[in-house]
Amino acid sequence: MERLFNIVKHLKNNSGLTASRLASLCSTTERTIYRDMRKLDNYGIQVISMGRNGYHLIDSAQINLPAKLNQEEYLALHLFHSIACQNKDKNSILYNSYKSAMEKVMANLKRDNNQTNLPQSINERIRIYDNQLNKEQLDFTKLLVEALITNTTIECKYDSASSGQTLERKLDPYYLITRAGNFYLIAYCHVHKGIRTFRLSRFKKIVLIPETFKLPIDFNVDDYLSKLWQIFDESKSIRFKVRFAKNIARYVKEEIYYANPVITELEDGDLLLEVTIKSGAEFLRWLMKYGSKAEIISPEEYRLKMKDELERMLGLYE
């Protein structure tokens, strides 16, 4: 790769170098230079041969040779490449396009000799095991990305978890996000006349239609998400106060929260968590994992809901 970079550098500075001259400058053979020219073409760097007048870069002014990367920058590039490519469908267009693009970028980067083996070692030592998209979901993702880029309205079929039915909807896609390892679409629903959240795995069909929309200037996705415990908006704002036992206090503090709870350490070592959200049902499901170590102080309505759920669970074991 370093030799390819040097060939481009020499041609940028001295257009018209012959294969013989390039071989001399790069300490290699003419045959290798010919092979390198084919590689450059594969990487999207076009070089034209003018016979005795040597090689010339096409649109060489557009080719910017980057400065040398430091260790941290080089690590960062490969780390994000490793995260993006692990466990992905190797036959998908997104995977192959990204991989090809990264190869072209990395071919032109200057790096120190001690960085040569970093890509392989990073890929081996960092393993990402998260929820994977199947082929249908990858295809839907590509359509949604196109809709997001062009602000194009979609028509879709969607399996509703609440009704258990497959619904037909017309949506203006606003944002595609991930929460807890799953992909969600935040969109304006033409049926409900409001913003709704749709889980990617529940789409059955997506079609872009010849209609466009404008993203509302008064809609801030970060503000919208900050009012939710995880992802779903239940419309009604609820103020929760929950007391956690001191022997699990560290785990509560270590949690990553999408909302912004206020956590206070009490004199006896217990924790008091206070948060206002629009996701009551989601909050209860999250709280269940702490069992008897968490007590809802308020509101009374959700304290009773938790009590009823625990009594139903107890009934399963009687």
Residue 60: its pLDDT value, please? Answer: 46
Mean pLDDT taken over the chain: 79
What string of H, E and C letters represents the secondary structure of 192-248?
A: CCEEEEEEHHHEEEEEEEEEECCCCCCCCHHHHHHCCCCCCCCCCCEEEEEEECHHH
The residue ranking higher by pLDDT, 286 or 258, is: 286
CATH (one of 3.40.50.300, 2.40.110.10, 1.10.1060.10, 2.30.30.520) for 135-226: 2.30.30.520
Residue 156: its pLDDT value, please? Answer: 92
Which of these, 29, 27, 31, 26, lies nearest to 8 by C-alpha position?
Answer: 26
Q: What's the half-sphere exposure (Cβ side, CA atoms, 13 Å) at 221?
A: 15
Q: Cα 62 to chain center, whole Å? A: 30
Task: Report H helices in the chain.
Answer: 2-13, 19-25, 30-42, 71-85, 93-107, 118-125, 135-150, 221-226, 249-254, 280-287, 300-316
| Cβ-based neighbours of 278, under 8 Å, separated by 6 or more | 227, 228, 233, 234, 235, 236, 237, 238
Neighbours of 144 (CB within 10 A): 25
Measured CA to CA, the distance from residue 192 to residue 190 in angstroms comes to 6
DSSP 41-54: HHTT--EEE-GGG-
Q: Does the pLDDT at position 1 exceed 80?
A: no
The residue ranking higher by pLDDT, 314 or 92, is: 314
The residue ranking higher by pLDDT, 59 or 87, is: 59
Q: Does the pLDDT at position 232 exceed 90?
A: no
- Residue 14's pLDDT band (cuts 50, 70, 90): confident
Residue 61: its pLDDT value, please? Answer: 44
Domain spans of the chain, in order of start: 2-62, 71-125, 135-226, 238-316
Residue 133: its pLDDT value, please? Answer: 67
DSSP state of 67: P
CATH (one of 1.10.260.40, 3.40.50.720, 3.20.140.10, 1.10.10.10) for 2-62: 1.10.10.10
Packing angle of the helix pair 2-13, 30-42 (nearest 10 deg): 90
Tokens in use for 229?
């415990």
Answer whether the bond into residue 210 is a cis peptide, omega within 30°: no
CATH (one of 3.30.70.240, 1.10.150.120, 1.10.287.3510, 3.40.190.10) for 238-316: 3.30.70.240
